[in-house]
């Protein structure tokens, strides 16, 4: 059955594959650290007889045959890429839980009707190239050539170049698209990344809906001038403009709705010398809500503010949409299966929304999805302090083992 010790070993091993040892987990898509994590997971998959393959987008799979080879697959997993100096559980907990479920199925000697696929996705965070949920979007919508050659990391390397260097062929990325009906269900276990479960003393969160997300990159242009000789009224200061817009984004998000959130997490100033008036500022905007009409309204208000600030300060701007995913509901039948299993096993659970984005919100366009949360200590995530008890991940894996057996039979 599900063994906590194996979950601990997997997660402690994966946590070592980081570009920032001692400062949390930094494991960007298509990097040496990710290669180490993939190698470890492939070895674990092979050791329990899974057929290992990588799709054209770079998603890694461990496939367990079913009695009916052509039957739609029951897919379970999450992502192994991280944010900068993130924690060891975001994404990895769901990958490891899926692997551990495959181990348990092997040990139980259970044969299922449907094939089962453990999936390890990449670039879910978008922390390297800016547009997240890449692995799941590659399976559902397909990735556009513009995204492959037009999105860059901080060194200016495009997604296509990074994939090529990683041994993948970016020109074939659209071959990763899955046929409608080819996936029976997608199950994702994830850390909550918030305070609700811990505060309620509840072990499991069964997610009913996932917020919609927009990720935008704005560039504001003014003109570089001498910081000493240029009179204030004559300046076209891109950073002053950006700061007015950023403050407005915070106000707009606070006023839009009780669950609306708006965040500016990245900001680059050029030329970036203390004695030069900033000529160009690029910043990210991430805004989310459970209702699409609120997201649309927030977008309109931010755009209006941006135009007004730039008009008044004689600045120009560009608006680049990097990600737009609407809110989704998870599959009620899967909610019921998991809730029933929790009751049977006497594990506390609660139904709840997800304020974080997950691959499940994209996979929902291809198949019914389930998303299950386990508690985050102090509600912390996307930081080195991120922590979830291994026992809680094991409880979640037990429930998903029940769900897989119910769905794949």
Strand partners, 329: 209
Is the CB of 66 or the CB of 370 nearer to ligand HGY? Answer: 370
Tell me how far, at minimum, the Cβ of 25 lies from ligand HGY, in Å: 13
**CB atoms near residue 142 (< 10 Å):** 16
Cα angle vertex 316, ends 310, 318, to 5°? 110
**Is the torsion defined by CA of 322, 327, 331, 334 positive or negative?**
positive
The answer to the question of residue 132 lying near ligand HGY (CB under 6 A) is yes
Helix (H) or strand (E) holding 392: helix 390-408
Stretch that binds ligand HGY, among 124-132, 251-259, 272-280, 317-325 (CB under 6 A): 124-132
Binding footprint of ligand HGY, residue count (CB under 6 A): 5
The answer to the question of residue 124 lying near ligand HGY (CB under 6 A) is yes
Is the CB of 134 or the CB of 317 nearer to Mn ion? Answer: 134
Partner whose binding site includes residue 357, from Mn ion, ligand HGY, none (CB under 5 to 8 Å by kind) = ligand HGY
Please state, in angstroms and rounded to a whole number, the distance separating the CA atoms of residues 72 and 277: 59
Residue that has been written with the tokens 């922390």 in this structure: 127
Is the CB of 72 or the CB of 357 nearer to ligand HGY? Answer: 357
Residue list 355-374, contact with ligand HGY (CB under 6 A): 356-357
Partner whose binding site includes residue 33, from Mn ion, ligand HGY, none (CB under 5 to 8 Å by kind) = none
The answer to the question of residue 88 lying near ligand HGY (CB under 6 A) is no
Omega within 30 of 0 (cis) for the link into 271: yes
Is the CB of 84 or the CB of 184 nearer to Mn ion? Answer: 84
Is the CB of 79 or the CB of 114 nearer to ligand HGY? Answer: 79
Tell me how far, at minimum, the Cβ of 163 lies from ligand HGY, in Å: 20
- Written as six digits, the tokens of 8 are 């601990």
Partner whose binding site includes residue 392, from ligand HGY, Mn ion, none (CB under 5 to 8 Å by kind) = none
Cα angle vertex 193, ends 382, 364, to 5°? 105
Is the CB of 267 or the CB of 308 nearer to ligand HGY? Answer: 267
Contact with Mn ion (CB under 5 A): which of 58, 72, 91, 205?
91
Partner whose binding site includes residue 91, from Mn ion, ligand HGY, none (CB under 5 to 8 Å by kind) = Mn ion
Binding footprint of Mn ion, residue count (CB under 5 A): 2
Partner whose binding site includes residue 132, from ligand HGY, Mn ion, none (CB under 5 to 8 Å by kind) = ligand HGY
The answer to the question of residue 194 lying near ligand HGY (CB under 6 A) is no
Partner whose binding site includes residue 331, from Mn ion, ligand HGY, none (CB under 5 to 8 Å by kind) = none
b/e code 75-99 from CB counts within 10 Å (16+ = b): bbbbbbbbbbbbbbbbbbbbbbbbb
Please state, in angstroms and rounded to a whole number, the distance separating the CA atoms of residues 231 and 228: 8
Is the CB of 198 or the CB of 237 nearer to ligand HGY? Answer: 198
Is the CB of 124 or the CB of 289 nearer to ligand HGY? Answer: 124
Strands 183-191 and 328-329: unpaired
Partner whose binding site includes residue 188, from Mn ion, ligand HGY, none (CB under 5 to 8 Å by kind) = none
> Residues, the chain, total?
409
Three-class DSSP category at 328:
strand
Residue that has been written with the tokens 């030329």 in this structure: 271
Q: Is 274 exposed, middle or buried (0-12, 13-18, 19+ CB in 10 A)?
A: exposed
Show the DSSP H helices in 125-260 as ranges: 134-140, 145-150, 159-165, 196-200, 238-256
The answer to the question of residue 285 lying near ligand HGY (CB under 6 A) is no
Q: Is 108 exposed, middle or buried (0-12, 13-18, 19+ CB in 10 A)?
A: exposed
Pick from 38, 18, 17, 215: which is nearest to 125 by CA? 215
Is the CB of 355 or the CB of 368 nearer to ligand HGY? Answer: 355
Tell me how far, at minimum, the Cβ of 376 lies from ligand HGY, in Å: 12
Strands 60-64 and 116-121: antiparallel
* Interface pattern 47-86 for Mn ion (x via CB under 5 A): ----------------------------------------
b/e code 295-327 from CB counts within 10 Å (16+ = b): bebbbebbeebbeebbeebebebeeeebbebeb
Which residues of the shown chain bind ligand HGY in the complex (CB under 6 A)?
Answer: 124-125, 132, 356-357
Which residues of the shown chain bind Mn ion in the complex (CB under 5 A)?
Answer: 90-91
């Amino acid at each position: 059955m599900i063994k906590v010790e194996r979950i601990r070993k997997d997660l402690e091993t994966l946590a070592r594959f980081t570009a920032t040892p001692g400062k949390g987990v930094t494991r960007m898509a298509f990097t040496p650290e990710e290669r180490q994590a993939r190698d470890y997971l492939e070895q674990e998959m092979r050791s329990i007889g899974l057929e290992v393959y990588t799709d054209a987008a770079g998603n890694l799979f461990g496939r367990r045959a079913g009695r009916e080879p052509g039957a739609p697959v029951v897919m379970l997993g999450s992502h192994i890429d991280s944010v900068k100096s993130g924690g060891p559980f975001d994404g990895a907990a769901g990958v490891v839980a899926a692997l551990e479920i495959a181990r348990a199925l092997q040990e139980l000697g259970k044969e299922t009707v449907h094939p089962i696929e453990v999936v390890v996705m990449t670039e879910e965070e978008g922390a390297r190239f800016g547009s997240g949920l890449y692995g799941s979007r590659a399976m559902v919508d397909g990735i556009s050539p513009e995204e492959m050659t037009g999105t860059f990391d901080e060194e200016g390397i495009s997604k296509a170049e990074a994939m090529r260097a990683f041994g993948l062929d970016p020109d074939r990325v659209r071959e990763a698209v899955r046929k409608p009906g080819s996936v029976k269900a997608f199950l994702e276990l994830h850390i909550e990344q918030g305070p609700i479960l811990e505060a309620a003393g509840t072990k499991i969160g069964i997610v009913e809906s996932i917020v919609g997300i927009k990720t935008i990159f704005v560039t504001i242009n003014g003109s570089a001038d001498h910081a000493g000789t240029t009179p204030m009224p004559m300046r076209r200061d891109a950073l002053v403009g950006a700061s007015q817009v950023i403050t407005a984004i915070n106000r707009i998000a606070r006023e839009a709705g009780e669950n609306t959130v708006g965040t500016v997490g990245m900001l680059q100033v050029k030329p970036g010398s203390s004695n030069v008036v900033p000529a160009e500022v690029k910043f990210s905007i991430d805004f989310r809500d459970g209702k699409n009409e609120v997201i649309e309204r927030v977008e309109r208000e931010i755009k209006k503010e941006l135009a007004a600030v730039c008009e008044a300060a004689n600045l120009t701007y560009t608006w680049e949409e990097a990600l737009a995913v609407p809110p989704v509901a998870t599959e009620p039948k899967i909610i019921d299966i998991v809730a029933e299993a929790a009751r049977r096993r006497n594990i506390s659970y609660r139904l709840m929304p997800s304020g974080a984005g997950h691959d499940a919100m994209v996979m929902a366009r291809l198949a019914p999805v389930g998303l299950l949360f386990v508690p985050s200590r102090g509600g912390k995530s996307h930081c080195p302090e991120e922590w979830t008890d291994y026992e809680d991940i094991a409880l979640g894996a037990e429930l998903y083992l029940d769900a897989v057996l119910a769905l794949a039979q």
